[in-house]
């Protein structure tokens, strides 16, 4: 049996999982192709390797990167705040409308050079240009704080998207049965928890455009990655980290979380929804697990930590 063991020694979020799955071998072009099956508008994906180890994933609306996206960074996760902290080093970008690419699923991709640079966050920071062969840009992982079910945005008077509309979008998509079923289940799990805390309807929960995009990318991207790798069972370690959203323990059904000293939120509501839906246990790795490869996924910056994802085989229990 193909097993994915998630070592949540530094929290868990959807962005960390997508990054780790890509580090295990999932092609960014495959994620982009699958996301293009949804009516999300133009978008561009971000991939980089902090400190040369593991992958950090993010997504932004629009075919090109803008200064506004630097200044109004979202961290996907449901009902949180937003953070403007950036620590970015190397980066690889893929865009929602792009050229044909090689690899599984067919589709389209922009290839950009990955270059080292230093990023000082000051009044919009570095200039960005998304022409072919451009310099690498600042990475943004819509990860720990904002996202699904937030009901508010950081960009002022943006039009929100109802969760019911996103569910309908997924239902009508050409995603595989596995990806569609699991993505819908994760969204509904988070939405029901949110609705129960506000006495509202899950379908009427409002998301800002940035939150909706980030949440869809993390949830669908995680399910696509599991399918691409042929994972049959997901296991997770006991949770360690910090969560700043009261929704997290509700989604996790009060699963114990060993607190860490960091002031960063390292367990996001979107991540909690993914774990609650997909992980069948929260315990040490089984002794029978034969390890094939380990991948790492980073949160939005170094302070928010990373996730270790161990791909292997073992006996079903």
DSSP conformation letters of 176-189 = -HHHHHHHHHHHHH
Q: What would the mean pLDDT of 74-83 be, rounded to a whole number?
A: 39
Predicted confidence at residue 117, as pLDDT, reads 32
| pTM of the complete model | 0.75
Rounded (5°) CA angle 79-161-266: 25
Residue 189 has pLDDT above 60, yes or no: yes
Q: Which two tokens stand for residue 97?
A: 């409308």
Residue 138 has pLDDT above 70, yes or no: no
Q: What would the mean pLDDT of 268-291 be, rounded to a whole number?
A: 96
Reported as a pLDDT band with limits 50, 70 and 90, residue 149 is low
Nearest to 231 by CA among 222, 219, 218, 242: 222
Residue 133 has pLDDT above 70, yes or no: no
Judged by phi (left if over 0) then psi (alpha if -120 to 50, else beta), residue 151 lies in left
Residue 177 has pLDDT above 50, yes or no: yes
- The Cα 231–Cα 237 span in angstroms is 17
Predicted confidence at residue 136, as pLDDT, reads 36
Q: What would the mean pLDDT of 209-238 be, rounded to a whole number?
A: 96
Other Cβ atoms closer than 10 A to 247: 23
Predicted confidence at residue 59, as pLDDT, reads 92
| Half-sphere CA count of 199, side-chain side, radius 13 A | 0
Predicted confidence at residue 65, as pLDDT, reads 57
Instruction: Calculate Rg over the CA atoms of the chain.
Output: 18
């Amino acid at each position: 049996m193909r097993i994915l063991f998630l070592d949540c020694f530094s929290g868990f979020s959807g962005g960390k999982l997508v990054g780790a799955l890509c580090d295990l071998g999932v092609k960014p072009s495959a994620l982009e192709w699958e996301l293009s099956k949804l009516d999300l508008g133009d978008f561009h994906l971000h991939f980089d390797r902090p400190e040369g180890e593991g992958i950090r994933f993010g997504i932004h609306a629009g075919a090109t990167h803008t200064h506004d996206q630097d200044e109004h960074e979202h961290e996907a996760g449901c009902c949180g705040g937003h953070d403007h902290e950036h620590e970015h080093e190397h980066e690889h970008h893929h865009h929602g409308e792009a050229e044909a690419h090689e690899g599984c699923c067919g589709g389209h991709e922009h290839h950009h050079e990955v270059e080292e640079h230093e990023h000082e966050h000051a009044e919009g920071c570095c200039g960005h240009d998304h022409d072919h062969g451009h310099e690498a840009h600042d990475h943004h992982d819509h990860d720990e704080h904002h996202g699904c079910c937030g009901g508010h945005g950081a960009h002022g008077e943006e039009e929100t998207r109802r969760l019911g509309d996103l569910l309908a979008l997924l239902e009508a998509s050409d995603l595989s049965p596995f990806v569609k079923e699991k993505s819908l289940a994760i969204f509904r799990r988070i939405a029901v928890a949110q609705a129960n805390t506000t006495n509202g309807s899950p379908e009427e929960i409002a998301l800002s455009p940035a939150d909706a995009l980030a949440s869809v990318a993390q949830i669908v991207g995680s399910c696509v990655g599991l399918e691409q790798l042929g994972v049959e069972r997901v296991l997770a370690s006991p949770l360690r980290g910090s969560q700043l959203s009261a929704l997290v323990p509700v989604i996790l059904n009060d699963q114990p979380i060993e607190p860490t000293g960091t002031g960063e939120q390292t367990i996001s509501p979107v991540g909690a929804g993914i774990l609650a839906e997909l992980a069948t246990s929260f315990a040490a790795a089984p002794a029978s697990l034969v390890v094939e490869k380990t991948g790492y996924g980073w949160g939005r910056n170094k302070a928010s930590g990373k996730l270790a994802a161990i791909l292997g085989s073992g006996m079903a229990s």
